[in-house]
Amino acid sequence: MTRRVVVTGLGLVTPIGNSVEATWTALMKGQSGADRIKRFDVEKFPVKFACEIKDFDPLNFVEKKEARKMGAFIHYAIAASQEAMADSGLSVSDEISEQVGTYISSGIGDFWAIEREHSKLLNDGPNRISPFFIPSAIVNLAAGQVSIRHHAKGPNSATATACAAGAHAIGDSFKIIQRAAADVMICGGAESAITPMSVAGFAAMRALSTRNDDPLTASRPFERDRDGFVIGEGAGIMILEELEFARRRGARIYAELVGYGMTADAFHITMPDDTGSGAIRVMQKTIQDAGIQPEEVGYINAHGTSTPYNDKFETLAIRKTFGEHAYQLAVSSTKSMTGHLLGAAGGIEGVFSVLSLHRNILPPTINYFNPDPECDLDYVVNEPREAVVNYALSNSFGFGGTNAALLFKRYEDGQ
């Protein structure tokens, strides 16, 4: 019999709130986290705004001496994991430590550390490089640091699959528990890539919105005049547990994770497949993995980046996957408020999908002013929508044509 996997804890650090409740409140109010970049001088940059984390103090979660050894994405991961673990009520004893794992991914890791230490190398020479440079920057150290802090001795991993990384971490953790390699996984994504080099690089690709005069409305997924994504940062973490393990300890259960899919476009390094093939197949595989019919899905938290091609082809893929039912299910992109958190996107959007099921309300896509004839689905526009949904799908697509999807199911006691 296949082991069932449930969600028992949630943690967030996002541009619109430094906790689950603060973020969800802002989400329901339709608040944008975009503003002019405060962290460095953007006067000469073609893009001058982003969705930065605000009023976050890592010393609330990490000792000062240790905090200096970590990149910001690790700080965010530790904070979100601490919240998720507290929310789950789980304490990792020696008895269960080998059955508790960590899987926290990132698209880039810590760009700040790379830029800072490279500047030292050029200006002062190799002997000035910090001995903590590598462990502060590399992708898997978010999972490593969280593992250390929570004495989780089970599987410890990370992927660097661009904007699908957080979803891959959750999906892979789901499969780890299903095959009994762990009973609990602390999983999700973290990112801190709002830096001069990163912003300049994404701008050079023409991937970013250039609405410097109006950052608040710059991210407008599925809207006619969208012109690119708004880069964000933060972390989204959830605690997954094998159902009977969770029941035995009396855990509160938010939802059940029932399906996971992975595919590749095999098409282009950055642009999505113009037939929607990779996105279609990943949604189909996820639904098949759950053993349900497409018509049972009621809500999709879309990848919805606010780029011209992604939103057009994701809409196409949803139509081809669900047929006529595509017009009966609700779709929203929370990136309209949080911006695009790159490798952390799948983590925070997985949390949003779970909360949508648990709280019977769907978050909106804000900044939707003018419909796009090529994006013609039932988008949850500008205001949240009360709805009882049994299955919620979360899509994540990344550069290199990597795709992931997660399917969550409403959980009722006694199921």
194-240 pLDDT, tens per residue? 999 999 999 999 999 999 999 999 999 999 999 999 999 999 999 99
Tell me whether residue 303 is one of the annotated catalytic residues: yes
pLDDT in tens, 322-341: 999 999 999 999 999 999 99
Tell me whether residue 163 is one of the annotated catalytic residues: yes
Q: Do domains 5-248 and 260-410 have the same CATH topology?
A: yes
pLDDT in tens, 241-260: 999 999 999 999 999 999 99
* Residue from 75, 150, 168, 340 carrying the catalytic annotation: 340
The 3-state secondary structure of the chain reads CCCCEEEEEEEEEECCECCHHHHHHHHHHCCCCCEECCCCCCCCCCCCEEECCCCCCHHHCCCHHHHCCCCHHHHHHHHHHHHHHHHHCCCCCCCCHHHEEEEEECCCCEHHHHHHHHHHHHHHCHHHCCCCHHHHHCCCHHHHHHHHHHCCCCCEECCCCHHHHHHHHHHHHHHHHHCCCCCEEEEEEEEECCCHHHHHHHHHCCCECCCCCCHHHCCCCCECCCCCECEECEEEEEEEEEHHHHHHCCCCCCEEEEEEEEEECCCCCCCCCCCCHHHHHHHHHHHHHHCCCHHHCCEEECCCCCCHHHHHHHHHHHHHHHHHHHHCCEEECCHHHHCECHHHHHHHHHHHHHHHHHHCEECCECCCCCEECCECCEECECCCEECCCCEEEEEEEECCCEEEEEEEEECCCCC
* Residue from 163, 168, 187, 358 carrying the catalytic annotation: 163
Across the range 255-267, mean pLDDT stands at: 97
pLDDT given at position 1: 77
Task: Return the domain boundaries, the chain.
Answer: 5-248, 260-410
Assigned CATH topology for domain 260-410? Peroxisomal Thiolase; Chain A, domain 1 (3.40.47)
* Residue from 75, 150, 168, 303 carrying the catalytic annotation: 303
CATH superfamily of 5-248: Thiolase/Chalcone synthase (3.40.47.10)
Identify the band that residue 415 occupies on the pLDDT scale cut at 50, 70 and 90: low
pLDDT(414) > 70: no
pLDDT given at position 253: 98
Q: What is the pTM of this model?
A: 0.98
Compute the mean pLDDT over every residue in the chain, rounded to the nearest whole number. 97
pLDDT in tens, 87-114: 999 999 999 999 999 999 999 999 999 9
